[in-house]
Amino acid sequence: MKKIILVISFLCLWALGAGAVGVKQGSVKTLVDSCGFFPQMSPDGQWLLFSTTEGSHLILKNLSTGDHRVVSSTGMPGFDAIFGPDGKVYYLTQERKKGNLLYRTGHCYDPSTGKDEIVLKGQHGQVQPLRAAAGVVINGERQIYSSAKKVGAWAYTRGTTLYLVDANGVSRALQPIDDSNGYLWASLSPDGTKVMFEAASHGVVVCDLNGSVIAELGEFLMPSWYNNDYIIAMSNAGNTRTNESRIWLISIDGSVFKPISPREERAVQPMTAGGKVVYTVQYSGEVKQLELDIEPAKAMPAAPGKGKVEKSPNPGSKKDLPRVFINPGHGGHDDDDRHIPTWVISARDTLHYYESNSNLTKALALEEILHNKGYETVLSRKTNKTEDDLDLFEIVALASNSGADIFLALHSNATGTENRVNFPLALYRGWDDKDVVEGSHALSDMIMHFAKMNELTVWSHKERSRGDWSFYPEWGYKVGLGVLRYNKLPATLIEGSFHDYLPERERLFCDNYCWLEAWNYSQGLDEYFHYYGKFKNGVLAGVIRWEDILRQDDDMRLYGDDELKPLNGALLRLYTDRGVMTRAYTLDNRDNGVFVFSNLPPMKYKLEVYYGDEELYITTKVKTKKNETVYKNLMMRKDMKPKKKKK
C-alpha cells in the first residue's frame, strides 16, 4: 500500500474541519455533572465507567436508572480501567511492597452480579489492561491474563517499541517511527488490519501490521477508533499555557479533521463505544456524550470461555529493581522555557541560561548515577528540542506506561521579581497534611532532606516540602500542578533552587554542579527505597571564593558567602594518602568556583589548589565516605603567598 503521510498544521486542520462533508453532529447529553474523569461506556450502552479526580475511586453509573456504584476505592483504581466486549470491567490496583516498589494487581468486575475477582496477581513493573480483538488482556512484564482462551490479536507499547501479538499468541516488535520519546495508546482497528498509536513528540500514527506507516495524523492525544475509517482524539497543545483543548473527528485518509466539542469547554479524555463519544470537561469534570451521524463502529464480539494466565511473551526485569521515571521539565527553548541572558565578567561573554538545559543536565546525570547504583530509569526526554516539550497528558501517560515506582519532575524556580531568594522546594499532589497518592509526601520530604545539604550554594530560606493544592490555592480547588494531575505514581516536582538568583544561575552553568544536585537526589531515593545497591564510593565537592574580594553585583540581593567573588580557572589536584595523584580538576571561568570529584573510593586524600602560574596556594586534607558527600569550601586571599611543594 502506498504510504499517505499527513503532517498538517492546526490552521489547516481547522480549514479542513470547517469544510468536512458527510459528518453531522447529533445530540449532546451531560451524563455526570462533576468530578468524572476518564469516562467510557459499556458496549451495550447501559453503563458509564469513570474515575474521580484523584483516581482514588472507580465508579459505575447505570444510565437507565441513574444509580451509582463504587467498583473499587483502594489502590488507586482509576485512570486505566476498561470495559471488555463481555461487558465486564477490567482494572488495576497498586500497593507498595519490598521497600516502596509498586506491585500492580489485575481485577475483573461484573456489573450484572457485582462480583469482583483478582485475575492477575500483583507483579512489579508495567501492567496494562488492553482490548484485544475478542476479549481483554491484562499485560504484565512477567505474566499476562487473557479473558478467554482465544482473545484474538492485540497491540501494546513499551517505551519506543510497538508490539503486535497475533491470534496465536506470537509477538512481534515494530518501530514505525525513528525518533520519538515513547509510544502510547496502541490499538487495533475494528477489522484488525491497522494499528493506531501516539508517538510522543511526534503525533498520532496509523501503520499496517508490518509496521509500515499508512498515515501520520498530526499532534493529537488519546486516540480511539470510531470505526475502521475514523478516529476520535483530543488536541495536543504541548506543554504550553493554552485554553485550546478539544475533541476531534479525524478520517484515516486525511479528508476530515473536524472539532466536535466547543472551544470553550476544554474537552479532554475522549472514548468511543457503539457509535457514541464520551469525554470530560477538563476542570469541572462534567462527562458529556455526543452522537455523530456517520457509519457506526463495528461492535466487537463477546469473549467466550474462561480466562487464563500465562507468561508474558516479552518479559521485563528479572529482578525487582527500583524503577524511577524522570521528567526533565520543559524541552526546547520555547515560550514556556525561561531564558535569562547572563553577562559573566571573567569570561567576558553573555551566557544564555535556559531552564530546560539545566533540567536535562540533571536528569541525564541522575540516570547515570542511578544505573551505577543498580536502579532502572525511564526519561521523558533525552534531548532538548521543541518536540520534546511534551503535553502534560503525554508525560503522565509515559510514566504510567513505564511501570515505574515513582515519578520525579526536575525543575528550577524563579521569583520573577527583584526580591531574589534561593531555597529548594518539592511539591506533591494533595494538601500539606495529606498526599493523594500514598508515598508522595514521604518521597518529597526525603528528596528535600538531602537537597538542603548542598553546601556549595547559599540558601536564603529553609527548604520546603508542600502539597500543591495548599501551595497554589489561588489556582482553584484541587487544581494543582498539571504534571501531577492524573498521576497514580508516588510523585514529586522538584524545584532544586532559584535560577534567577544570579550566583545560583552561575553555578547551574556548571554541569558538575548539576551532577551534584542529581547525586543528592539519588541519596534521597536510596533512603526512600531502602536500597543502596552495590555503590561503594563517595563524592568530594566545594566552592573556592576570594576571601577579600566582593562580587560586583550591586543591583541584586546576595546572601552569606555569595557576597564574595568566586575563583576562576584554578587547577586542583587530588592525592591519595600515599602521595599518588589520582584526580585533577580545573575551575571554569563562569564565576561559580565549583569543583566536584565524583566516584571516589572512601579513604584519606590531600587536595591542592594551584593558581596563576600553577603555583601551590592551598593544601588541605579530606576523607571521603561511602555513598556520601564531603564538602570542602575554600578561601583564597589576594595577599596569599604561594607554598613550596614538598618533593
- Would you say residue 53 has pLDDT above 50? yes
Q: Which three cell numbers stand for residue 45?
A: 450502552
pLDDT in tens, 426-439: 999 999 999 999 99
- Read off the DSSP letter of residue 63: T
Q: Return the closest-CA partner of residue 452 out of 475, 480, 422.
A: 422
Q: Which residues pair with 289 in a beta bridge?
A: 29, 278
CA–CA gap between residue 417 and residue 401 (Å, rounded):
39
The per-residue pLDDT for 2 is 32
The per-residue pLDDT for 555 is 62
The per-residue pLDDT for 488 is 96
- Would you say residue 103 has pLDDT above 50? yes
The band of 646, judged by pLDDT with boundaries at 50, 70 and 90, is low
Q: Can you say how many angstroms the Cα of residue 632 is from the centroid of all Cα atoms in its chain? A: 35
Is 309 within the bounds of a domain? Answer: no
- Residues 520 and 593 occupy one common structural domain: no
Domain housing 459:
321-533
Is 380 within the bounds of a domain? Answer: yes
Phi, psi at 442, each rounded to 5°:
-65, -40
Is 100 within the bounds of a domain? Answer: yes
The per-residue pLDDT for 297 is 58
- Would you say residue 301 has pLDDT above 60? no
Q: How far is CA 355 from CA 170, 360, 472, 520, 599, in A?
A: 45, 9, 21, 19, 27
How many residues does the structure list for the chain?
647
Q: Which of 121, 147, 173 finishes a domain?
A: 147
Is 475 within the bounds of a domain? Answer: yes
| CATH, residue 451 | 3.40.630.40
Rounded to an integer, the average pLDDT of 64-79 is 96
The per-residue pLDDT for 17 is 42
- Would you say residue 486 has pLDDT above 90? yes
CA–CA gap between residue 357 and residue 355 (Å, rounded):
5
Q: Is 596 or 306 the better-scoring residue by pLDDT?
A: 596
- Residues 378 and 511 occupy one common structural domain: yes
Phi, psi at 612, each rounded to 5°:
70, -120
Segment (H or E) for 72: strand 68-72
- Would you say residue 11 has pLDDT above 60? no
Cβ atoms of residues 375 and 294 within 8 Å: no
| Helix locations, 478-548, DSSP H | 502-508, 511-529
CA–CA gap between residue 117 and residue 114 (Å, rounded):
10
Dihedral (C-alpha) 357, 360, 365, 366: value to the nearest 10 degrees?
A: 140
Q: Which three cell numbers stand for residue 445?
A: 520530604
- Residues 362 and 479 occupy one common structural domain: yes
- Residues 510 and 589 occupy one common structural domain: no
Q: Which three cell numbers stand for residue 551?
A: 562580587
CA–CA gap between residue 347 and residue 336 (Å, rounded):
28
Q: Which of 118, 147, 176 finishes a domain?
A: 147
- Residues 475 and 339 occupy one common structural domain: yes
- Residues 416 and 522 occupy one common structural domain: yes
417 contacts: CB under 8 Å, gap ≥ 6: none
Q: Which of 512, 533, 554 finishes a domain?
A: 533
- Residues 504 and 609 occupy one common structural domain: no
Is 5 within the bounds of a domain? Answer: no
- Residues 439 and 578 occupy one common structural domain: no
Q: Which three cell numbers stand for residue 471?
A: 501551595
Is 460 within the bounds of a domain? Answer: yes
The per-residue pLDDT for 6 is 41
- Would you say residue 238 has pLDDT above 80? no
Q: Which residues pair with 146 in a beta bridge?
A: 137, 308
How is 280-307 classified by DSSP, letter by letter?
Answer: EETTT--EEEEEESSPPPPPPPPPPS--
Segment (H or E) for 365: helix 355-373
- Residues 516 and 552 occupy one common structural domain: no
- Number of helices (H), then strands (E), in the chain: 7, 46
The per-residue pLDDT for 231 is 96
- Residues 599 and 483 occupy one common structural domain: no
Total domain count, the chain: 3
| CATH, residue 552 | 2.60.40.10
pLDDT in tens, 121-159: 999 999 999 999 999 999 999 999 999 999 999 999 999
Is 247 within the bounds of a domain? Answer: no
Q: Which residues pair with 171 in a beta bridge?
A: 165
pLDDT in tens, 366-407: 999 999 999 999 999 999 999 999 999 999 999 999 999 999
Rounded to an integer, the average pLDDT of 93-97 is 96
- Cell 492546526, located at residue: 10
- Would you say residue 19 has pLDDT above 90? no
Nearest 5°: the CA angle 191, 196, 202 is 165
Segment (H or E) for 401: helix 392-402
Rounded to an integer, the average pLDDT of 110-126 is 96
Is 66 within the bounds of a domain? Answer: yes
- Angle at which helices 355-373 and 511-529 pack, to 10 degrees? 50
Rounded to an integer, the average pLDDT of 76-93 is 96
pLDDT in tens, 518-546: 999 999 999 999 998 778 899 999 999 99
In percent, the amount of the chain with pLDDT more than 70 equals 92
- Residues 80 and 123 occupy one common structural domain: yes
- Residues 472 and 512 occupy one common structural domain: yes
* Buried b or exposed e, range 67-97, using 16+ CB within 10 angstroms: eeeebbeebbbbbbbbbbbbbbbbbbbbeee
Q: What is the mean pLDDT of the chain?
A: 90
